[in-house]
Amino acid sequence: MRIGVLCSGGDSPGMNAAIRGAVLRGVEVHGFEMVGFMDGWRGFHEADLVPLDRSAVRGISPLGGVILGTSRVPPFASGDGDAAEWQAIRARMAEYRLDGFLLIGGNGTQTVAKLLTDAGIRAIGLPKTIDNDLGGTDYTFGFDTAVSIASEAIDRLRTTGESHSRCMVLEVMGRNAGWIALHAGMAGGAQVTLIPEHPESIEQISEWVLSVRDRGRSSLVVVAEGFTLEGADGEVTREGLDGFGRPRLGGVAEMLAPLIEERTGIETRATVLGHVQRGGSPTAFDRVLATRTGIAAADAAHAGRWGTMAGLHGDRIDLVPLHEAVGRLKTVPDARYEEVRLNFG
């Protein structure tokens, strides 16, 4: 069997460990031939592929980024693809002698895996994304690393903020889900954690910041990039579109800081963590999760369990049908927000 590995979406710590797990199991145990496409669908469209064998994956688990590169280049020029585009994919697969795909990515990538499956093309999903917004799995690899980096940023901002009696606002990623903010905010004891799932008013946020000052402390506010103020008309976005033509989120901390300062009289500074939270070496948790996911995906291919995704459930990696993983964003449930809210103000 000849399997193509392809990564799409943003990079996520643990992708290398996932490739290594899949190759060690796939090539060494199941006797697959494996190839990797460079920069996601760009490599597939342009015949830019490399062999994946034991030597290609030696020592890569601790490395950040991904050896194959990743991109938001779509499989089709538009939407779900027309007949000619589907034909082009099949023709390329025949040219590469591919029997199936392992697709490493988040909700967007797994949506493509499902489209392929629905069209009769063999695909198995490996869930990665720092956003943790994918159904069918308890956690996606990369999330734990992003949360660790964001928590460390909170700890550091807190000491400088306290020294100057300033309110510090930290913006983290996560797109339209508040998971990174929620976990980092709880780990770092943030006095306010703002997530897309729960719009709040600037009056309420300022009240929390003032009540923290009244207790003799300085506020640390964590805000997810997709957060919106109550009644606002959509998220704060930066100029330009991403590789898939969507607006780039970002800038909400810089929007909030002057509003908080104006209402509280407390000097307020904004920090945007940005791609720092996606870079560098994965945590041990992410390496283990990613390696096990890769192994499970290779086993799934061997067993003919196409159309599934290798998701974490408790301590087990299960194969879940792709339709259970995609279609709906996995957002923060109310009960989880109530827990972190205990620390507000």
Ligand X SMILES: Nc1ncnc2c1ncn2[C@@H]1O[C@H](COP(=O)(O)OP(=O)(O)OP(=O)(O)O)[C@@H](O)[C@H]1O
Ligand Y SMILES: O=P(O)(O)OC[C@H]1O[C@](O)(CO)[C@@H](O)[C@@H]1O
Annotated binding-site ranges:
10, 72-73, 106-109, 129-131, 166, 173-175, 225, 269, 275-278
242 binds ligand Y (CB under 6 A): yes
16 is written with which tokens?
Answer: 């290398």
The answer to the question of residue 158 lying near ligand X (CB under 6 A) is no
Supply the DSSP symbol for 295.
H
- Interface residue with Mg ion, options 16, 107, 117, 277 (CB under 5 A): 107
CB of 107 to ligand Y, least distance (A): 9
Number of residues that bind ligand Y (CB under 6 A): 14
Q: Which residues contact 120 (CB under 8 A, 6 or more apart)?
A: none
- The candidate with the shortest Cα–Cα distance to 41, out of 129, 105, 119, is 105
**Minimum distance from CB of 109 to Mg ion (Å)?**
8
The number of C-alpha atoms within 13 Å of 298 and in the hemisphere containing its C-beta is 23
Q: 341: number of CA atoms within 13 Å, CB side?
A: 12
Q: Which conformational region is residue 90 in: left (phi greater than 0), alpha (psi within -120 to 50 degrees), or beta?
A: alpha
What character string, x for contact with ligand Y (CB under 6 A) and - otherwise, covers 154-193? -------------------xxx------------------
Q: Tokens in use for 70?
A: 């990743």
Candidate list 11, 39, 131, 144, residue with the active-site label: 131
CA angle 86, 175, 101 (to 5 degrees): 30
Footprint of ligand X on residues 90-129 (CB under 6 A)?
Answer: 105-109, 111-112, 129
CB of 246 to ligand Y, least distance (A): 9
Q: Which two tokens stand for residue 57?
A: 């994956």
Contact string 129-148 vs ligand Y (x = CB under 6 A)? xxx-----------------
| Site of interaction with ligand Y (CB under 6 A) | 9-10, 106, 129-131, 173-175, 225, 242, 248-249, 278
Catalytic residues: 131
